[in-house]
């Protein structure tokens, strides 16, 4: 029996400048460019293995040990058919190659974190799917080329094909041929940048990103302002802050953009709530910490769910977590440092 196998991992990416809104739902073309940080391979990631064999009777997909029907959905099929087309071109050039493009695929994927709880599981999942099949097919396309395919699976997936700081350029063309991810900077260039994830809830979100985005695009006036004037400026400023390793600026833009994205959710009609009371306490806590140290040492960001991602520099890890520890463990005497108003926020 002839069987060909390949495996890859793709990490989660967390947007610091949010993608929210599609101008083309079929092709996943966004209404604004976005920026993210891809976590390291050792952290949150999808591990995907693909096998192709002439004996397989159908494409099949297992996610976290359970067979899924999603292999036949439009988005997965869009990715599979583009990848098969590219493999077919290779097989046309070299007729000795096995005809993998004509064989069915078995895909096994596993996340080491909660699926669909606003922790970008679809991003890592589709990035790993596309990268694994590209490896199996020995495709010669660049990562940006592959990012245009992963984008069709899930918009944010295009950013998980690169490590470090990544921009998804929205592009202008109607066919999506210029809507792709590019690397802004490697993590090595800013090696002391750290991310901590505070898992507030592992529950599945109740409004999917696609549904939420469509509602926001259709009903929010604030969204129009965000897309036209707010994000284009931030996109340039954030790339500048990353290249200059300016944490204060990076943190300010990250927090403001998270707030702006959640404000457009609230401005949708009916409103969409992704953050809960614990999320809001974390926001207040971060501002309190920065105020306390008279220096920006932490930035928060929230995606389409209540879980927080904190960005900070390694040298401030002790300061940051000492504070979190004091607050949440209520070490004797710690409350004397704060006003009653501040304390009430954490009671």
* Footprint on this chain of ligand 2P0 (rule: CB under 6 A): 15, 18-20, 28, 34, 120, 122-123, 154-156, 209-210, 303-304
| Residue of this chain nearest to ligand 2P0 (CB atom) | 155
* Nearest distance from C-beta of residue 173 to ligand 2P0, angstroms: 18
**Least distance in angstroms from the C-beta of 152 to ligand 2P0:** 9
Query: Do residues 53 and 98 touch, judged by C-beta distance below 8 A?
Result: no
| Closer residue to ligand 2P0 (CB): 179 or 296 | 179
* Shortest distance (Å) from residue 210 CB to ligand 2P0: 4
The least distance separating ligand 2P0 from the CB of residue 15, rounded to whole angstroms, comes to 3
With 0-12 CB in 10 A as exposed, 13-18 as middle and 19+ as buried, what is 92? exposed
Nearer to ligand 2P0, 274 or 312 (CB): 274
Letter string b/e over residues 95-110, b meaning 16 or more CB atoms within 10 A of that residue's CB? eeeeebbebbbbbbbb
Can you tell me the distance from the alpha carbon of 261 to that of 307, in angstroms, rounded to the nearest whole number?
15
Closer of 242 and 304 to ligand 2P0 (Cβ): 304
In the bound state with ligand 2P0, the residue whose beta carbon lies nearer, of 88 and 214, is 214
Which residues sit opposite 30 in a β-bridge? 22
For the bound state, the minimum distance from the C-beta of residue 120 to ligand 2P0, rounded and expressed in Å, comes to 6
Cβ neighbours of residue 194 closer than 8 Å, sequence gap 6 or more: 311, 312, 313, 314, 317
Taking the least distance from each CB to ligand 2P0, the nearer of 101 and 264 is 264
Q: Say how far apart CA 299 and CA 287 lie, in whole Å.
A: 9
- Cα–Cα distances (Å) from 130 to 146, 147, 205, 241, in that order, read 7, 8, 25, 31
């Amino acid at each position: 029996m002839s069987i060909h196998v390949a495996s890859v991992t793709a990490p989660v990416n967390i947007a610091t400048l949010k993608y929210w809104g599609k101008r083309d739902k079929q092709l996943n073309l966004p209404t604004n460019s976005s920026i993210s940080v891809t976590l390291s391979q050792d952290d949150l990631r999808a591990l995907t293995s693909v096998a192709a064999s002439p004996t397989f009777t159908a494409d099949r997909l297992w996610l976290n040990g359970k067979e899924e029907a999603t292999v036949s959905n439009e988005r997965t099929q869009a990715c599979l058919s583009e990848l098969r087309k590219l493999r077919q071109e290779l097989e046309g050039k070299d007729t000795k190659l096995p005809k993998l493009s004509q064989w069915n695929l078995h895909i096994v994927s596993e996340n080491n974190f909660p699926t669909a709880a606003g922790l970008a599981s679809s991003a890592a999942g589709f990035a790993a799917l596309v990268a694994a099949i590209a490896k199996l097919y020995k495709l010669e396309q660049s990562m940006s080329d592959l990012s245009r395919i992963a984008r069709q699976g899930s918009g944010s997936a295009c950013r998980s094909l690169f490590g470090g700081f990544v921009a998804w350029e929205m592009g202008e063309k109607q066919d999506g041929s210029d809507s792709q991810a590019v690397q802004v900077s490697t993590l090595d260039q800013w090696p002391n940048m750290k991310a901590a994830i505070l898992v507030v809830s592992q529950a599945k979100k109740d409004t999917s990103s696609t549904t939420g985005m469509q509602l926001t695009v259709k009903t929010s006036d604030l969204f129009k302002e965000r897309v036209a004037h707010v994000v284009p400026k931030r996109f340039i400023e954030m790339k500048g802050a990353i290249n200059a390793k300016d944490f204060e600026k990076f943190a300010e833009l990250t927090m403001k953009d998270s707030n702006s994205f959640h404000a457009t959710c609230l401005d949708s009609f009916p409103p969409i709530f992704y953050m809960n009371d614990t999320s809001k306490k974390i926001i207040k806590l971060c501002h309190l910490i920065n105020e306390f140290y008279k220096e920006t040492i932490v930035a928060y960001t929230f995606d389409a769910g209540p879980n927080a991602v904190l960005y900070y520099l390694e040298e401030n890890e002790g300061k940051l977590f000492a504070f979190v520890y004091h607050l949440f463990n209520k070490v004797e005497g710690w409350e004397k440092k704060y006003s009653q108003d501040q304390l009430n926020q954490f009671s």
